[in-house]
């Protein structure tokens, strides 16, 4: 049998080549190559572990800088003004305290929930209920406002130039906590546009309680409230910013 000359353009026509075997070898090699070098879309290639670690370090440092700068995650942004600490932090008993203005405003606002159905949330009242905003009984003296609230009011009364002739039953009583009373007065005298600014102490409320005990029981008339409007409380007021115990109203002495 004569050997055919090899045509370089058609090597597999050479008889000594096993075409099926060669073909299988090429297929195996290309499958292996495909496994080794997966083709990724641009931008989806896996990142080097070192770049990943470097990026994490930058993120941790940047995060702590943002935290400590008080700009993005600052304490002041997350903690409301007038925030008062819990009684117990991590098992350690602490005194719940705050600046008197903030404590009084928060307590007073909660007491005012009892009143706002009539005197309205903005304190301006309406045709049936007199205003507390701009009311001489609220602004002139803590005595008139508390006497009205503790004893109730009945009969014709002119408030801030508008006339009413109706009745309010007692809203607080003589056993109401002094701290609650002082806070309500501060809230009423410094809300709705009222700006009295005086900060009465819980202790001063005993003077009001004594006046309640002296008068005969029954609702107050406008004439009686007008007398109370001229009476002021004796003793020292709280200085603005005084730290007090939120529950007892006691002054907290600060270490200098």
The residues that touch ligand HEC, with contacts defined as CB under 6 A, are 114-115, 117-119, 129-132, 135, 137-138, 145, 148-149, 153-155, 157, 159, 164-168, 171, 188
The least distance separating ligand HEC from the CB of residue 77, rounded to whole angstroms, comes to 34
Residue of closest CB approach to ligand HEC: 115
The least distance separating ligand HEC from the CB of residue 136, rounded to whole angstroms, comes to 7
The Cα 113–Cα 108 span in angstroms is 9
* Burial readout 140-174 (b: 16 or more C-beta within 10 A, e: otherwise): bbbbbbbbbbbbebbeebebbeeebeeebebbbee
- Alpha carbon 44 to its chain centroid, in Å, reads 44
The Cα 108–Cα 80 span in angstroms is 17
How many degrees, rounded to 5, is the angle at CA 209 between CA 202 and CA 118?
A: 85
The Cα 178–Cα 122 span in angstroms is 25
The least distance separating ligand HEC from the CB of residue 179, rounded to whole angstroms, comes to 15
The least distance separating ligand HEC from the CB of residue 226, rounded to whole angstroms, comes to 11
Say how many C-beta atoms besides its own lie within 10 A of residue 187's C-beta.
22
Judged by beta carbon, residue 135 or residue 201, the one nearer ligand HEC is 135
The least distance separating ligand HEC from the CB of residue 58, rounded to whole angstroms, comes to 58
Q: Do the Cβ atoms of 17 and 25 come closer than 8 Å?
A: no
The least distance separating ligand HEC from the CB of residue 137, rounded to whole angstroms, comes to 4
Judged by beta carbon, residue 97 or residue 119, the one nearer ligand HEC is 119
The Cα 49–Cα 47 span in angstroms is 6
Judged by beta carbon, residue 100 or residue 188, the one nearer ligand HEC is 188
Judged by beta carbon, residue 164 or residue 200, the one nearer ligand HEC is 164
Judged by beta carbon, residue 112 or residue 238, the one nearer ligand HEC is 112
Judged by beta carbon, residue 101 or residue 180, the one nearer ligand HEC is 180
């Amino acid at each position: 049998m004569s050997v055919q000359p090899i045509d370089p353009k058609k090597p597999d026509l050479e008889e000594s080549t096993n075409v099926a075997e060669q073909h299988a070898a090429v297929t195996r090699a290309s499958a292996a190559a495909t496994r080794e070098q997966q083709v990724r879309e641009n931008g989806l290639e896996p990142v080097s572990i070192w770049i990943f670690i470097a990026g994490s370090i930058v993120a941790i440092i940047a995060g702590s800088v943002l935290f400590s700068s008080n700009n993005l995650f600052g304490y002041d942004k997350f903690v409301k003004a007038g925030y008062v600490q819990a009684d117990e932090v991590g098992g350690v008993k602490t005194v719940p305290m705050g600046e008197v203005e903030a404590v009084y405003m928060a307590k007073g606002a909660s007491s005012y929930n009892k009143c706002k159905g009539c005197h309205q949330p903005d304190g301006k009242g309406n045709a049936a209920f007199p205003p507390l905003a701009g009311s001489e009984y609220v602004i002139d003296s803590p005595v008139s406002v508390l006497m009205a609230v503790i004893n109730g009011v009945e009969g014709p009364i002119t408030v801030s130039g508008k006339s009413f002739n109706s009745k309010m039953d007692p809203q607080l009583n003589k056993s109401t906590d002094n701290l609650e009373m002082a806070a309500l007065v501060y809230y009423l005298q410094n809300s709705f546009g009222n700006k009295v600014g005086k900060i009465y102490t819980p202790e001063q409320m005993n003077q009001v309680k004594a006046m309640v005990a002296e008068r005969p029981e029954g609702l107050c008339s406008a004439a009686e409230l007008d007398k109370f409007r001229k009476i002021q409380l004796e003793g020292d007021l709280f200085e603005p910013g005084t730290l007090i115990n939120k529950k007892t109203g006691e002054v907290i002495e600060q270490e200098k």
